[in-house]
């Protein structure tokens, strides 16, 4: 039996019972997240007795919320803004990507009562960019922001020989991120800090621009990115990890100038695979159906 959503044939939802495997996404805000739609699509597609729910948790309440979910029998959770660094501090075991980035976006509650932490943002970002036909190797990227996602993306770019410039409204956080990258890898001069009000001086020499902040996100903070794309080289690839709306003001400006654009929806999909596999025991195939489902939902919300 199937249902219809956005013109797509979807598997019928499964009944939730006492043996249903539970996971979710913790964030503040979290209402914008399409992770529940994606994970529940995969659960139905593979006939898995599971459910994935949004979990709005205010800053300062993260530790209590995580321990409560663990005690309630959840398998784990994704973690989004602003809790990724708090997640890093609460776990008992870290994988290499989480250790390098200093942040965690995927929690797995192990049967022995411990918590495992993973960071899939960086490799998910790279997979999405390469799915758009851009080879991520060498060159220079300018990252806007210095939070958990920026840490993960910076680490994955450095792993692929990409020099990284970091700009953040609070310069101290940018310096802390740069120092962390240098300390954990032989990055040397491959990492530097760019003043938030000095992007014009470095943008012409960049191959990629990546917004990792929540500026431009629906329901996010007010303000604009201090970027003048009139100064960008014609070869610049402009990426935004925000996906609500799918085309942010930054990407609209880039597209109007004929620059190659990469939105954040594919990153969401690619980074989700590891958590799904850990919680529900199946490695989902990333096909056009799930992107079409998410895109149709986003377009519906914009009308």
Here the CATH number for the domain that contains residue 152 is 3.40.50.720
Do 160 and 209 belong to one domain?
A: yes
Q: How many domains does the chain have?
A: 2
Note the pLDDT of residue 218.
76
Do 81 and 130 belong to one domain?
A: no
Least confident of 71-75, 183-187, 261-265: 183-187
pLDDT tens column, 223-247: 789 999 999 999 999 999 998 888 9
Do 100 and 149 belong to one domain?
A: no
Do 143 and 250 belong to one domain?
A: yes
- Measuring CA to CA, which residue among 48, 56, 8, 10 is closest to residue 31? 56
Do 146 and 109 belong to one domain?
A: no
Instruction: Give the domain range for residue 76.
Output: 2-119+268-302
Do 132 and 245 belong to one domain?
A: yes
- C-alpha neighbours within 13 Å on the C-beta side of residue 103: 27
CA-CA distance, 161 to 27, in Å (whole number)?
Answer: 32
Here the CATH number for the domain that contains residue 113 is 3.40.50.10860
Note the pLDDT of residue 275.
95
Do 291 and 219 belong to one domain?
A: no
Note the pLDDT of residue 81.
84
| Confidence band of 221 (pLDDT split at 50, 70, 90) | confident
Note the pLDDT of residue 5.
53
Residues recognised as catalytic: 84
Note the pLDDT of residue 10.
61
Note the pLDDT of residue 32.
83
Note the pLDDT of residue 1.
45
pLDDT tens column, 125-184: 999 999 999 999 999 999 999 988 898 999 999 999 999 999 999 999 999 999 989 887
Do 18 and 55 belong to one domain?
A: yes
pLDDT tens column, 62-107: 999 999 999 999 999 999 989 988 999 999 999 988 888 888 999 9
| Confidence band of 303 (pLDDT split at 50, 70, 90) | very low
Binding-site positions for shikimate: 33-35, 80, 105, 121, 243, 271
Do 21 and 132 belong to one domain?
A: no
Written as one string, the DSSP assignment of the chain is -EEEETTEEEEPPPPP-TT-EEEEEEESS-TT--HHHHHHHHHHHTT-SEEEEEEE--TT-HHHHHHHHHHTT--EEEE-TT-HHHHHHH-SEE-HHHHHHT--SEEEE-TTS-EEEE--HHHHHHHHHHHTT----SSEEEEE--SHHHHHHHHHHHHTT-EEEEE-SSHHHHHHHHHHHHHHSS-GGGEEE--TT-HHHHGGG-SEEEE-SSTTSTTS-S------GGGS-TT-EEEE---SSSS-HHHHHHHHTT-EEE-SHHHHHHHHHHHHHHHHS------HHHHHHHHHHHHHHH-
Judge if pTM exceeds 0.85: no
Do 254 and 279 belong to one domain?
A: no
Binding-site positions for NADP(+): 145-149, 168-173, 241, 264
Binding-site positions: 33-35, 80, 105, 121, 145-149, 168-173, 241, 243, 264, 271
Do 81 and 198 belong to one domain?
A: no
Do 222 and 276 belong to one domain?
A: no
Note the pLDDT of residue 287.
87
**Does 11 have pLDDT greater than 90?**
no
């Amino acid at each position: 039996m199937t249902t219809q959503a956005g013109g797509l044939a979807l598997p019928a939802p499964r009944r939730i019972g006492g043996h249903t495997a539970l996971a979710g996404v913790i964030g503040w805000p979290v209402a914008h997240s399409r992770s529940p739609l994606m994970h529940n699509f995969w659960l139905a597609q593979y006939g898995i007795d599971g459910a994935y729910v949004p979990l709005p948790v205010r800053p300062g309440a993260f530790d209590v919320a995580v321990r409560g979910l663990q005690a309630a029998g959840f398998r784990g959770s994704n973690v989004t803004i602003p809790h990724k660094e708090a997640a890093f501090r609460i776990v008992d075991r870290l994988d290499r990507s989480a250790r390098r980035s200093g942040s965690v976006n995927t929690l797995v509650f192990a049967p022995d009562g411990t918590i495992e932490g993973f960071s899939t943002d960086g490799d998910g970002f790279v997979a999405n960019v390469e799915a758009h036909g851009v080879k991520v190797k060498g060159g220079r990227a300018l990252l806007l922001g210095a939070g958990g996602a920026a840490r993960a993306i910076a680490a994955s770019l450095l792993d692929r020989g990409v020099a990284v410039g970091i700009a953040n409204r609070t310069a101290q956080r940018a310096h802390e991120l740069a120092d962390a990258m240098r300390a954990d890898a032989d990055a040397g001069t491959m990492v530097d800090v760019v003043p938030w009000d000095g992007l014009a001086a470095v943008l012409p020499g960049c191959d990629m621009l990546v917004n990792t902040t929540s500026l431009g996100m629906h329901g996010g903070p007010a303000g604009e990115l201090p970027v003048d794309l009139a100064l960008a080289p014609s070869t610049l690839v402009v990426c935004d990890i925000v996906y609500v709306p799918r085309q942010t003001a930054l990407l609209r400006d880039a597209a109007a100038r004929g620059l190659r654009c990469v939105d954040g929806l594919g990153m969401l999909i690619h980074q989700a695979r590891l958590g799904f596999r850990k919680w529900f025991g199946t490695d989902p195939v990333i096909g056009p159906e799930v992107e079409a489902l998410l895109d149709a939902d986003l377009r519906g919300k914009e009308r």
